[in-house]
Amino acid sequence: MPRLEGSMVAIVTPLKNGAVDLKSLRELVEWQLAEGTDGIVPCGTTGEGATLTAAERAEVIRTTVEAVRGRAAVIAGAGSNATHEAIESVKMAKELKADAALVVTPYYNKPTQEGLYRHYTAIHEAVRFPVVAYNVPSRTAVDLLPETVARLAKAGAIVGLKEATANMDRQVQLVEKVGKDGLAWLSGDDFTVLPYIACGGHGVISVVGNIAPRAMKELVVAARGGRFSVALEKQVALGELNRMMFVETNPGPVKAGVALLGKAAPELRLPLAPVSDANLAKIRDAMVRFGLMKLA
């Protein structure tokens, strides 16, 4: 299994006339790898996994694995708020030869820490496949606490954690309880890549990497190499672009950015709606200032 580290991208799922655009997906994957991206994460939040059908998720994961051809890690989005459905999704990721599955904490149900522990251990016992837990309380209304992460690591139920609380004290606690190399520590926040890596992180699963993959790779390499002054310059340089990727609900802005680069359509699946004209102009301006586009 490729190491789960470095600059990874939570890749968008291109849509065209309501259907998944596999041709554009293949081209996006190839571009990402050419730009130095270390891992591709299909069917996550940014990939609109929650509104893809099971058959579409299978198509997207299969196409990604085939396009990557072992040149980078593939972590397939496979979460659900129903444990039995998450098990089936992780089984699918395993059958399609992904390297690992990204499993978000069950949303809406608001399980206790014991429920979270049992959720991930049930998946592990049923599938025996590498699972990266995904903690994003702002979307799920539940927080996977360090004590529970430590229990899951000890049980061998997870191999990594995508942590999206933007809380560096949380990351220090995780390293304290599990060890720096006890799990693959992956940031889920583009805003805090440098401090996260400085606190023991191994990399990021990025949104902005969809449009600025080389810049994100350079930031991660500098931070992991201890060149913190250089990394800070790169983190600050990405600041406006990062903010624009969340000016509306993700993945609306980043899909707009991908479309502005001419790499896929900006189409979203309901209930997500296209970004407003005003915000599209702001996204375009930020991309121009960053050097991703020229003025029309």
Catalytic positions: 134, 162
Name the nearest CA neighbour of 81 among 136, 13, 41, 125. Answer: 136
Q: Is 46 annotated as a binding residue?
A: yes
Q: Is 205 annotated as a binding residue?
A: yes
- Residues annotated in the binding site for pyruvate, as ranges? 46, 205
